[in-house]
Amino acid sequence: MLARAFLGALCLLLSAAAGEAGEIPVKKIEVPSGFEVDLYAGGVAGARSMALGTKGTLFIGTRNSKVYAVVDRDGDHHADKVYTIAGALRSPNGVAVRDGALYVAEINRILRFDDIEAHLDKPPKPVVVRDDLPTDKHHGWKFIAFGPDDRLYVPIGAPCNICNKPDPYAAIMRMSADGSGTEIFARGIRNTVGFDWNPLTKELWFTDNGRDYLGDDDPPDELNRAPQVGLHFGYPYCHGGTIADPEFGKERPCSEFTAPAFPLDPHVAAVGMRFYTGTMFPPEYRNRIFIAEHGSWNRSTKTGYRVTMLTVVDGKASNYSVFAKGWLNGNSAWGRPVDVLQMPDGALLISDDQVGAVYRVTYRQP
């Protein structure tokens, strides 16, 4: 009995230690000269999509069952406490904040926790905003965000690698904050787990994961631009703007669809993305897109496991390059970036669901 209790206590200690800076090799992350990476929070199992509350609370969704709130009360840019806001949910990956309420997207439901930052230690019972979304687990986890039009954007992924399903699959929906007034904003999107709006034009940009099993180097993942409602981005007929699908490509040609704003590297699993609008980073970084590339699982040589960036000028993306790397060593990865989020001071947060951590990237004049 004593031995069993000792082992249990030891496991708890080891679990707690895993969230400490000494156990997470933050110094292996490489960033450009003048930038620094520190651990903002550890012990956040499965940390994925992020959203910031009006009082500075960092909310984090996961693909397991929990939603977290991370608090830095003393302002030292390191988390003081991690709260569990909810458990026993179905892949509550998506989180968004509006008017002091936390919105959480499960596979088939959208929940709302009112006045959440005043009740972190005892969260209120959630209000069900919608509970009629598809129940498919395949690409069922969601990224959600409120757009400049104050409507909630919710993607519904394709429930497969490659298939042709009717609305609302393979699309981005939008709706009012109370779940009413739903419409399809864009179609032909296999699985987007990250989007943001251009701060200058208010146009929606989003990442999309390309289909599997066309080889190591096809098709590319995509960065897409949707300046208006009603566009179709090709799936399942066309991939990357130029590659006809072997099964569905004969039905409709690539010329019918909106091509990617930029074809990303194949199989990198491009997920979270944001426009950088802060002033901490040098001026040339302002309004660039940062993308968290979760990393390949279906490639003979792994790729991704990094944060990349692109320049956007007059609606065109270019200069695809690596901003942060070091999670991948050869064919072995110790971490997987999932989302990026700009803090009020201009620092950039990066979530990592493999080690359950959030990193903070800052810039200091060399």
- Can you give the pLDDT at residue 350? 99
Structure confidence by residue, pLDDT tens digits, 253-298: 999 999 999 999 999 999 999 999 999 999 999 999 999 999 999 9
Of 259, 264, 235, 231, whose CA–CA distance to 247 is shortest? 235
CB-based contacts of 112: which residues, under 8 Å, 6+ apart?
A: 101, 102, 103, 104, 126, 127, 128, 129
Mean pLDDT of 112-141: 97
The full set of domain ranges for the chain reads: 34-363
For residue 178, pLDDT over 80 is answered with yes
Q: Evaluate if residue 18 carries a pLDDT over 70.
A: no
* Contact by Cβ (8 Å): 208, 233: yes
Task: Supply the mean pLDDT for the chain.
Answer: 94
Task: Specify the length of the chain in residues.
Answer: 366
> What is the mean predicted confidence (pLDDT) over 82-89?
97
Closest CA to 211 of 243, 259, 177: 243
Rounded (10°) CA dihedral 302, 306, 311, 317: 30
Q: Over range 43-56, report the average pLDDT.
A: 97
User: What is residue 9's predicted lDDT score, i.e. its pLDDT?
Assistant: 37
Instruction: Let me know: does 85 contact 120? Beta carbons within 8 Å.
Output: yes
Predicted local confidence at residue 12, as pLDDT: 34
Pick 34-363's CATH classification: 3.40.309.10, 2.120.10.30, 3.40.50.300, 3.40.190.10. Answer: 2.120.10.30
Q: What is the pLDDT of residue 328?
A: 98
The pLDDT of residue 366: 72
The answer to whether the beta carbons of residues 312 and 319 sit under 8 Å apart is: no
Asked whether residue 22 carries a pLDDT value surpassing 90, the answer given is no
What are the pLDDT digits (tens) for 184-227? 999 999 999 999 999 999 999 999 999 999 999 999 999 999 99
pLDDT level of residue 11 (50, 70, 90 thresholds): very low
Lowest-pLDDT range of 20-34, 87-101, 268-282: 20-34
**Which has the minimum average pLDDT: 11-15, 82-86, 192-196?**
11-15
With a cut of 80, say whether residue 299 has pLDDT above it.
Answer: yes
The residue type at 202: K
| Exposed / middle / buried, residue 208 (Cβ in 10 Å: 0-12, 13-18, 19+) | buried
Please check whether residue 53 is in contact with residue 70, taking contact to mean a CB–CB distance below 8 angstroms: no
User: Which residue matches tokens 């690409």?
Assistant: 139
